[in-house]
């Protein structure tokens, strides 16, 4: 990944999935490895991102199966223009290609998340950087009256993070939000209450992370909590509870206490709130996309756009 303040971060903040895709288009096609590519939705998304101009798909796995499925789906242009890499061990080969700079990001196809992550985390051949890997999901939020992309982390990887792991989850979230053009991302530390209580461990961790933020450990970002959901996203709720903080009601990204909370919150935004989504795993040598099997091709195109932007940041 380029660690620069290149074009994307200097531009206006991205506030919708339409804009996310347009910004990815400006960056040109990145090489997207589809890991075990004989997957209908992943192939459809790869085709979509190819035609939108921000992906050069590299289809990895059983070449005969991939071609047969893609042709059956009518994706003839994808078959003609994609690169094929035939292998029985797609996850290992994809990680190797990413390490060697032959692909720019990975998208999970027809395999389990943990199978892909084990190849990514392989000590010798994987994509470790020494940092924690964590997933940041975006949804379109309209609670404050205008549309914007809000993050939720980590509902995908880290089951029950300790304080040190949460610190890295916050750092990854800041990077992802900066890649969207947020100059000083506002990171909310989520709990069930705004009061710190020893009997609610997430509130104690939130207080420690807030102190770290105040002492400058997270650089140019506002990190604050504990906050409950209403006070993180609604200024009126924060005001009603007397919380005087510039972040309250305006969170750009919510750091949840554990995977269950993140998973429930993200799926609520999607299924109860009706938003599309996009998500990316940060902390590895390249962005990794681990969409769930039920996410639509549109969601996966959004995730590819996010991965392209994050890879270019």
Note whether 260 binds ligand COD by CB under 6 A: no
From the list 88-96, 112-120, 189-197, 304-312, the region that binds ligand COD by CB under 6 A is 112-120
Tell me if 116 contacts ligand COD by CB under 6 A: no
Residue least distant from ligand COD (Cβ): 133
Residues 6+ apart with CB under 8 A from 260: none
Q: Is 254 an interacting residue with respect to ligand COD (CB under 6 A)?
A: no
- Is residue 73 a contact residue for ligand COD (CB under 6 A)? no
Q: Which residues between 132 and 161 bind ligand COD (CB under 6 A)?
A: 132-133, 156-159
Residue 263 makes contact with ligand COD by CB under 6 A: yes
Neighbours of 22 (CB within 10 A): 14
Structure tokens at 84: 């094929």
DSSP state of 117: H
Residue 50 beta carbon to ligand COD: minimum distance, rounded to whole angstroms? 26
* Sheet architecture: strand order including 288-289: 83-86, 55-61, 30-35, 105-108, 288-289, 277-282, 134-141, 148-153, 253-255, 186-190, 222-227
> Minimum distance between the CB of residue 71 and ligand COD, rounded to whole angstroms?
30
Residue 49, interface with ligand COD (CB under 6 A)?
no
Burial of 97 (0-12, 13-18, 19+ CB in 10 A): buried
Q: Is 117 among the residues that bind ligand COD (CB under 6 A)?
A: yes
How far is it, in rounded angstroms, from Cα 189 to Cα 186?
10
Within residues 181-210, the interface with ligand COD by CB under 6 A covers none
Q: Is 257 a binder of ligand COD (CB under 6 A)? A: no
Half-sphere exposure of 171 (CA within 13 A, CB side): 16
Contact set with ligand COD (CB under 6 A): 113-114, 117-118, 121, 132-133, 156-159, 263
């Amino acid at each position: 990944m380029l660690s620069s303040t290149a074009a994307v971060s200097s531009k206006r903040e991205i506030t919708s999935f339409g804009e996310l895709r347009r910004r990815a288009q400006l960056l040109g096609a990145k090489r997207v490895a589809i890991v075990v590519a004989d997957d209908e939705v992943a192939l459809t998304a790869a085709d979509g991102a190819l035609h939108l101009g921000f992906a050069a798909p590299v289809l990895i796995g059983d070449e005969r199966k991939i071609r047969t499925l893609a042709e059956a789906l009518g994706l003839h242009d994808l078959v003609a223009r994609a690169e094929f890499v035939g292998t029985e061990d797609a996850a290992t080969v994809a990680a190797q290609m990413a390490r060697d700079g032959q692909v720019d990001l990975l998208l999970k196809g027809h395999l389990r998340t943990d199978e892909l992550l084990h190849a990514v985390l392989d000590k010798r051949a994987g994509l470790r950087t020494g940092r924690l890997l964590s997933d940041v999901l975006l949804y379109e939020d309209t609670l404050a009256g205008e549309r914007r992309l809000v993050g939720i982390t980590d509902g995908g990887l880290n089951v029950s993070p300790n304080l040190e792991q949460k610190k890295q989850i916050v750092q990854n979230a800041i990077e992802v939000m900066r890649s969207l053009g947020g100059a000083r991302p506002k990171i909310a530390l989520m709990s069930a209450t705004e009061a710190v209580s020893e009997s609610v461990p997430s509130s104690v961790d939130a207080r420690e992370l807030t102190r770290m933020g105040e002492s400058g450990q997270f650089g140019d970002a506002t990190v604050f909590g504990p906050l409950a959901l209403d006070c993180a996203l609604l200024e009126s709720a924060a005001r009603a509870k007397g919380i005087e903080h510039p972040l309250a009601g305006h969170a750009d990204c919510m750091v949840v206490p554990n995977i269950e909370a993140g998973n429930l919150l993200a799926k609520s935004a999607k299924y109860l709130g009706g938003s599309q989504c996009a998500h990316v795993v940060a902390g590895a040598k390249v962005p990794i996309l681990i969409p769930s099997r039920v996410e639509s091709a549109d969601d996966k195109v959004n995730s590819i756009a996010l991965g392209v932007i994050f890879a270019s940041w």
